[in-house]
Structure 1
């Protein structure tokens, strides 16, 4: 332990010297709580070696924070007692292009004796990635990030909450319209440039369906890196928006009744460097392990919704015929299916992957990637098979026709999804009792807080939490 601390200190000393030479004076160390909120402790850049060697103190109570900063409790966590240490992931240390003088690193959490904190979501994602590797599988994951921007009225600071009682969208162009790009070309250029400077490869950026809405897709990587990336993407978009006098929201339901923000998870499976989505002789091009992995994810989707759609606001977004994937089915290039198989171009040897369409940005991305991997590995263990793929929109079918095809509605409320997570033995085993219990406690508290609330009130209360 002492030698590891010495190595970390020396690596951090060199990193701190480099950062200070670049004008960086402060480092933000982030973790994401079970309500999906990115929390932070900051240290001066010259203190980074100490933080890397000994960690930065924080309370374990944050594992039972809700999205409105209320505090609940689980069987294992809650109350004022205890302490943890945040250790920065130095390999992800990044100077922030949107916040001059600042750098960022995600943090892993340990107890005072150096043991991994059992509720650390980032380490959960790493454990599941390692479990997949032990089975000979490599996963490449990436997220699509959607957000909505509004402009503060004249005389208001962009971060002032009361400035957004009347929403002023900075672009009036049509959905997916080039008009929006023209209207906000400087802003979108700065978002792309900032992400690129920070080492995030942007695949595409475009206007989306809702007013003031955009989406950025970034290159896939290993699951932990993908989760790190989506945190960095959100905070970069937030920072660049503020510099342009705008405010960004990643909330699943920005305005009740309108299309909300998703955060779709893309995943590709490989064995020995070969895609398992490109097996010519197999049905749908999927190798047997890919069939079973995706079958496991499909079967677990009702429970996974409590991970990937963790707020009552999430269920305002999950409506039929809005490409949100509200029915438990899969399809080939079907954007209404909860699990979409993307075949890719025929001449692309690395093409082909799957997309979980239901998830949104209220989700903790580390929980999301870890839980999906756990569900997929359970599918392989059980040799799970996929049913026939669905075509078209299940939402336009009658109830009897959906029943005939075996298409069922995914949970329509957080309560129902949480009940399914509570009963999921594979996810309990993968997460462990401490993390699983903390997630359930936060979900139940969110349910209770919004019980009986109107959709408009839920959307308004959560609009700026993510």
Structure 2
């Protein structure tokens, strides 16, 4: 369907359903959802001319002397909110951010992903993503107390969290987001809702919507949902394992029927690219100080840079091939967390994998042993490196990476480094309750 036809269909759908307001959504560089609301009478103007706003007030966007920005709604993203707001029916659309002359704005995270997808398309590929987002339900944002003491796949009865998950799945389906399944995770009151594989841009939009829906349903029921990577000391952190594959000419480019593990040469080179750049892209896939309290050995979080079939201690896992399911051949990157900016995270993953394909990188042998149980000497002898141990180390790796700079573009790359360096400095110089409790009585 042509753009003008999509716009016409969107306007018609909104008026037919008697929608009163439309939330226009976009994302700042850190991955926070931004929104402003228009009345239905302004819809046609917004769809054809866009809506202007001050970009200098958005994290990572324009400097004040070049602050005029325009949000152009993408009619293909139109959805009706599955709940009414004070009786009003409300719709949502994601926007692309453009300059006054109509050209794409380089710091718009959605454009960053579009640009990387265009590069994949030039090589003949379409990028598909399937994320597994974990999160915690807590009693409140001030009181990090879980609602239950259940663990992985536990079946609980008369449980508020089970009802919250079901209500969330229903809401996601009304947003047009297909859910594969949901379940209790390892931590107390930790849960996971897995999304059906989709093209990467659509999935990045879906991840942003998912986070809103999870939090909204929780708030409606008097509890708090958090995607913080490590909200509870001594318990499992929340990850976002990302299943990914490339399709070419309508077929899965990662599948090879002749290979022992049904992995094509492109898939192996893609994995090799991910491994080669794993330390460089970590600041983007795990962008918070708190992210590195999840990336520690002992909590099933991936720390060591290697790959394996079915071995969940490896950074990259290749799920078992099922006969007749060639389209499902994929790789799973296990390090990202659900608090990242999905547009940027998917961009750097794709850039790393494509670099592996372009350079024909050779995939090292897979690891069959539990990497956590190996000694440092054993890991060194196998060439198994470790992810950065904190945000500062990750930023230093990113700063030296030409690949990440190209993937994000100069403006996003430099702003992200500045912002995250400030975050690290604030964290490093702050005196924590742990230090006061431990040292004050002694020193």
The TM-score, its normalising length taken from structure 1, stands at 0.86
Residue 275 of structure 1, CA deviation: 2.0
Taking the aligned partners of 2:84 and 2:238, their CA distance within structure 1 comes to: 24
Do structure 1's residue 55 and structure 2's residue 50 form an aligned pair?
Answer: yes
1:110 alignment partner in structure 2: 98
Question: 1:196 Cα shift?
Answer: 1.2
Are 1:343 and 1:353, in contact at CA under 8 Å, matched by a contact in 2?
Answer: no
User: Which piece of structure 1 moves more, 415-424 or 80-89?
Assistant: 80-89
Deviation (angstroms), 1:11: 4.9
Deviation at 1:257, TM superposition (A): 3.5
Query: Aligned equivalents of 1:180 and 1:397: distance in 2?
Result: 40
Q: Is the 8 A contact 1:257 1:316 kept in 2?
A: no
Deviation at 1:386, TM superposition (A): 1.0
State whether residues 147 and 188 of structure 2, in contact with CA within 8 Å, keep that contact through their aligned partners in structure 1. Answer: no
Q: Identify if the C-alpha distance between structure 1 residues 169 and 109 changes in structure 2 by more than 3 Å, giving closer, same or farther.
A: same
2:154 pairs, out of 171, 177, 195, with 177
Aligned to 2:110: 122
- Cα distance in structure 2, aligned partners of 1:216 and 1:427: 29
RMSD, aligned α-carbons: 2.4
* Structure-2 change in CA distance of 1:171 and 1:99 (3 Å): farther
Q: Which moved more, 1:263-272 or 1:357-366?
A: 263-272
- Aligned pair partner of 2:70 in 78, 81, 85: 85
Matched, 1:226 2:197: no
Rounded to whole Å, the distance in 2 between the matches of 1:18 and 1:456 is 53
Tell me by how many angstroms 1:19 deviates: 2.3
1:400 matched to 2:377? The reply is: yes
CA contact (8 A) 1:343 1:351 kept: no
For residues 173-210 of structure 1, what are the alpha-carbon distances to aligned partners after superposition, in whole Å with 9 as ceiling and x for unaligned? 33321016855343222111111122111101001111
Matched, 1:95 2:80: yes
Larger relative contact order (CA 8 Å, sep ≥ 6): 1
Superposition deviation, residue 97 in structure 1 = 0.8
Among residues 259, 273, 287, which one is paired with 1:296 in the alignment? Answer: 273
CA contact (8 A) 2:156 2:162 kept: no
Secondary structure class of the residue paired with 1:36: coil
8 A contact 2:270–2:357 mirrored in 1: yes
Instruction: State how far apart, in whole Å, the 2-side matches of 1:366 and 1:140 are.
Output: 13
User: Which residues of structure 1 form unaligned runs of 5+?
Assistant: 66-75, 153-163, 458-466
Shift of 1:388: 0.7
On the 8 A contact 2:25/2:93 being kept in 1, the answer is yes
- Determine if contact 2:285/2:337 at 8 Å carries over to the other structure: yes
Is 1:144 matched up with 2:132? Answer: yes
Q: Kindly indicate whether the alpha-carbon contact (under 8 Å) linking 2:27 and 2:108 is maintained by their aligned counterparts in 1.
A: no
Question: Who is 1:71 aligned against?
Answer: none
Deviations 1:28-85 (A, max 9, x none): 22222222222222222332222222222233335646xxxxxxxxxx9545751211
Deviates more, 1:421-430 or 1:52-61: 52-61
Contact kept, 8 Å, 2:274 with 2:356, in 1: the verdict is yes
1:19 matched to 2:14? The reply is yes
Q: Which runs of 5+ in 2 are unaligned?
A: 435-443
Q: For 1:208-247, what aligned pairs fall within 5 Å after superposition?
A: 208-247=185-224
| Equivalent position of 1:261 in the other structure | 238
Name the counterpart of 2:344: 367
**Count of residues in correspondence between the two structures:** 431
Counterpart CA distance in 2 for 1:283 and 1:137 is 24
User: Are 1:252 and 1:261, in contact at CA under 8 Å, matched by a contact in 2?
Assistant: yes
For normalisation by structure 2, the TM-score amounts to: 0.90
Alpha-carbon distance between aligned partners in 2 of 1:264 and 1:442, rounded to the nearest angstrom: 25
Tell me the alpha carbon deviations over residues 387-428 of structure 1, each in whole angstroms, 9 at most, x when there is no partner: 111123322211111111111111011111111111111222
Distance 1:365 1:454, change over 3 A: farther
Contact 2:287 2:391 in 1 (8 A): yes
Q: Is the 8 A contact 1:139 1:270 kept in 2?
A: yes
Does the CA contact (< 8 Å) of 1:98 and 1:240 recur in 2?
A: no
Runs of 4+ in 1 over 6 A off after TM superposition: 454-457
Q: How far apart are residue 323 of structure 1 and its match?
A: 2.2
Alpha-carbon distance in structure 1 between the residues aligned to 2:103 and 2:207: 27
Evaluate the alpha carbon distance shift between residue 256 and residue 52 of structure 1 in structure 2; reply closer, same or farther with a 3 A threshold.
farther
The answer (yes or no) to whether the contact 1:206–1:215 under 8 Å persists in 2 is: yes
